[in-house]
Amino acid sequence: MRFKQKIAKLSLIDSKDDSFRITTQINVDHLMDSINHVGMLNLPLLVEKETGYKIVCGFRRIEACRRLNWADMEVRILESDTKQLECITYAITDNSLQRPLNLIEQSISINLLYPFFKDVSFLGQELSAMGLPDNPSIVKKIKELCHLPKSVQNGILSNTISLAMALELGRLQQDAGESFSKLFETLKLSLNKQKEILTIVKEISLREDIPILKVIKTDRVQKILSNEDLDRNQKIRKIRIYLKQRRFPVITAAEKELEDQLKKLKLGSGTKLIPPDNFEDSTYILKLFFKNLTQLKDRQAKIDELIKNPSLRKIIDRPN
């Protein structure tokens, strides 16, 4: 690396040029305290341009100094003929040496390097040297992340949305992807529940021939989300029930009817009647729980009563 160390006026440093920005971090309060207390330990790296300087490394350090009302600061200035690829390499390395890069920062890094490597294997070698993922299929997936809507990227940064889910949301229309990411962020849904809700909404969209966005923007969902009397888990449960009822109206009605008839049967804790999955066939399972022969005899008497109960006939004889 060829550079000279000098004092540069902050007014000549272009902080709006994000060409080499890797970091997704914005807050500089802690950095201001550190600089104010011990000074600048790692000098920013700049490159000369026609008027002033472009930042290669040190965006947050320079911003912290601006907020501390510094007029100038000590920096490292690269030679004016430094190639762009070299600047990109310095920027990625500077950030990755400070901390592991998050997925969005990895995506930014890959996108900056990508145009310079026609051969994917050479790109992989470069990424590996910088401590970044080098598997071609993983690189391809991560590369897409920084092109996704900001709300989806924020979900990744907050660990609310996984890489796989982010890419799936990215395949939706932008408004729909953003709405899902905000919903997942608000409810702090697990990955399994995210997949469940997304799948059901897609199926409702196809079944009713309406846009996905219209399904999750319905008044019913919005009222549940805005209900301050409900905690997060209650909102999740109500939204899942509503979507399931809308997606499977026949099954939902059958489950409700079964629930009503089971109450009338009064099975008790020692007997359990299990319906067929999604009521797709006519085979029911009766489970008995007992600790000794006396309890088993009691269960036998209960079965005799159960067979004569008209509510059981209504359950068994329901049309499939």
pLDDT of residue 40: 86
Record the tokens describing residue 180, joined without a space.
């899902």
pLDDT of residue 278: 65
| pLDDT, one tens digit for every residue, the chain (320 residues) | 678 999 999 999 999 999 999 999 989 999 999 998 888 888 999 998 888 899 999 999 999 999 999 999 999 999 888 899 999 999 999 998 888 999 999 999 999 999 998 888 888 899 998 889 999 999 999 999 999 999 999 999 999 999 999 999 999 988 999 999 999 999 999 999 999 999 999 999 998 999 999 998 999 999 999 999 999 999 999 999 899 888 887 666 677 777 778 788 888 788 888 887 766 677 888 888 888 998 888 888 888 888 888 888 887 876 65
At which residue do the structure tokens 């949305």 appear? 161
Q: Supply the DSSP string of 205-243, one letter for each residue.
A: HHHHT--HHHHHTSHHHHHHHH-TTS-HHHHHHHHHHHH
Q: What is the largest CA-CA distance in the chain?
A: 96
CB 152 within 8 A of CB 159: no
CA dihedral 237, 239, 244, 250 (to 10 degrees): 100
Axis crossing angle, helix 150-157 with helix 103-113, rounded to the nearest 10: 120
- Say what the pTM is: 0.75
pLDDT of residue 90: 94
Q: Give Cα separations from 206 to 15, 131, 201, 258, 272 (angstroms).
A: 47, 43, 9, 28, 36
> Tell me: the pLDDT tens digits for 245-269?
888 876 666 777 777 787 888 887 8
CATH topology of domain 1-99: 3.90.1530
The strand pair at 3-9 and 72-78 is best described as antiparallel
